Amino acid sequence: MGGGAEYENDLNFKATELRLGLPGTGCINEEKAVSGAKNNKRPLLETREERGSKGKSDPQHDEQETDPAPKARIVGWPPIRSYRKNSLQPKKAEAEAAAGMYVKVSMDGAPYLRKIDLKVYKGYPELLKALENMFKLTIGEYSEREGYKGSEYAPTYEDKDGDWMLVGDVPWDMFLTSCKKLRIMKGSEARGLGCGV
């Protein structure tokens, strides 16, 4: 969606914003809030009325008017059918997705790292399968209580705060936005991570 473009120029308020939603959600809601226009009624009407009271156009005033708040969204403008709008937006999202979300994957003991595109996977099971294939190992099934018990390996990831987290605890979307790199831990270190945390 174009929402991403809006915030690139800001002081990245989004990252520091406190809100109740889970990270990774809320982009769409914010989009809707802006265009829902409950608080944003008639952004240009006030200026129209000002001009109306002046009676005739004032070129200087006009110039200011012709540069409205950048990308201020007006409800129902431009006038194209929702069906058409919706069919274009996914294209943007697809374009962004096509760029991929590559993260490094390290495995303890391996001589070099790999990279995978997280966006290709629809969820944890696929990701884990891919890792298993890539490194020729078995990770097994996730359980909340015991992590990946029964396996020598534990998939972990480094999040935005720099902490190493067990893969699978948080919803997939949240994982996508917070995962910086992956590391497959092995042996006793792995077991330590999976138990009693």
Partner 1 sequence: MNYFPDEVLEHIFDFVTSQRDRNSVSQVCKPWYKIESSSRQKVFVGNCYAISPERVIERFPGLKSITLKGKPHFADFNLVPPDWGGFVYPWIEAFARNNMGLEELKLKRMIISDECLELISRSFANFKSLVLVSCEGFSTDGLAAIASNCSFLRELDLQENDVEDHRGHWLSCFPDTCTSLVSLNFACLKGDVNLAALERLVARSPNLRSLRLNHAVPLDILQKILMRTPHLVDLGVGSYVHDPDSETYNKLVTALQKCKSVRSLSGFLEAAPQCLSAFHLICPNLTSLNLSYAPGIHGTELRKLIRHCRKLQRLWILDCIGDEGLEVVASSCKDLQEIRVFPSDPFVGNAAVTEVGLVALSSGCPKLHSILYFCQQMTNAALITVAKNRPNFTRFRLCILDPTKPDAVTNQPLDEGFGAIVHSCKGLRRLSMSGRLTDRVFLYIGMYAEQLEMISIAFAGDTDEGMQYLLNGCKKLRKLEIRDCPFGNAALLMDVGKYETMRSLWMSSCNVTLGGCKSLAKKMPMLNVEIINETDQMDISADDRQKAEKMFLYRTLAGRRKDAPEFPLPSGIGFSSTSLPSSSCEDFQTVDGDMASNRASNEKLGTIVNGSVSVNSWFLADDKLYQTQHCATPLLQSKVPSYASPPEGEFS
Chain residues in the site for partner 1 (CB under 8 A): 1-2, 5, 35, 38, 41-42, 44-45, 47-49, 51-52, 55-57, 59, 62-63, 65-66, 68, 71, 73-85, 87-88, 91-92
> Which residue number, 49 or 126, has a Cβ lying nearer to partner 1?
49
Q: Across-strand partners of 156? A: 166, 183
Give 123-186 as a DSSP string.
SHHHHHHHHHHHHT------BTTTBSTT-SEEEEEE-TTS-EEETTSS-HHHHHHH--EEEEEE
Q: Within its chain, how far is the Cα of 57 from the centroid?
A: 44
> Which residue number, 87 or 138, has a Cβ lying nearer to partner 1?
87
> Which residue number, 79 or 111, has a Cβ lying nearer to partner 1?
79
> Which residue number, 52 or 100, has a Cβ lying nearer to partner 1?
52
Which of 25, 10, 160, 110 lies closest to 70, judged by CA? 10
In whole angstroms, the minimum distance from the beta carbon of 151 to partner 1 comes to 35
In whole angstroms, the minimum distance from the beta carbon of 67 to partner 1 comes to 9
In whole angstroms, the minimum distance from the beta carbon of 105 to partner 1 comes to 29
In whole angstroms, the minimum distance from the beta carbon of 87 to partner 1 comes to 6
